[in-house]
Structure 1
Amino acid sequence: MEESAFNALAEAELARIESALEDCGVDLDIEPKPGGILELEFENGTKMIINRHTAAREIWVAARSGGFHFRLLDGQWINTRDGAELWKMLAGLIGAQAGEPVVLTPPA
């Protein structure tokens, strides 16, 4: 995939994630940063970083529980280790870090 195509797809996905997080019910600060980075700060002081990694053509998530890489396959961002889908995994990671259950619904 061309770099520009990847960047456009990743930026769109990050914008969708940011929008969904605003309504997920968890008290967190979301700070978009230049270069395709979302920094989340939780009420308990922990942070999570979600960013695009252009060289690998992946979206990366750095959470308290570890680092995860997602590659676009058949229209979904899939974890390169275990095949988990990004949105489902993000809900679990955010819920675990926030200490409360989270449901993330991708905006249409």
Structure 2
Amino acid sequence: MTDLEYLDHADALLLSVEQSCDRINDETDADLDAQRVGGMVTIVFPNGSQIVVNQQKPLHEIWLAAKAGGFHFRFDGAHWQDTKGEGEFFTLLSRFASQQSGLVLDFASSR
């Protein structure tokens, strides 16, 4: 994957995370605060906990940090997959956000 391809896919993922937060806020009482600065989105929950998603351009990866730990994802041509075989990005983000919020939250890729 070229640097430009990586940036295209990574930017689409971050936008999808932001749009999912907006949709979740419209559909639930989750009250997520998604803040994007450059290649990083920070999701802040009402209880003060956070999930951070950021680009790792030199490695062509996306990193996710949650209470459950840190995870690295690579694009496989269709989805962002955990480099240690833990699963797909949006599936794990949904699980970790649900754990941290105490609500069932569904993040989904818009791409």
Percent identity of equivalent pairs: 28
Q: What is the RMSD computed on CA atoms of the aligned residues? A: 1.3
Q: How does 1:14-53 map to 2 (within 5 A)?
A: 14-24=14-24, 25=28, 26-34=30-38, 36-53=39-56
Amino acid at match of 1:30: A
Match of 1:6 in 2: 6
SS at match of 1:23: helix
Give the TM-score, by structure 1 length: 0.91
Alpha-carbon distance in 2 for matches of 1:68, 1:104: 16
Q: How many residues get paired? A: 107
Alpha-carbon distance in 2 for matches of 1:21, 1:29: 8
Gaps of 5+ in 1: none
Match of 2:104 in 1: 101
Match of 2:62 in 1: 59
Gaps of 5+ in 2: none
Q: Which runs of 4+ in 1 moved over 6 A?
A: none
Q: For residues 13-42 of structure 1, what are the alpha-carbon distances to aligned partners after superposition, in whole Å with 9 as ceiling and x for unaligned?
A: 1101110121123211110002x1001111
Give the TM-score, by structure 2 length: 0.89
Amino acid at match of 1:46: S
Preserved contact between residue 13 and residue 109 of structure 2 (Cα < 8 Å): no
Q: For residues 59-101 of structure 1, what are the alpha-carbon distances to aligned partners after superposition, in whole Å with 9 as ceiling and x for unaligned?
A: 1101011001110013110011124011111100100111111
SS at match of 1:101: coil
Is 1:84 the counterpart of 2:87? The answer is yes
Give the structure with the higher percent helix. 2
Alignment equivalent of 1:69, drawn from 64, 72, 75: 72
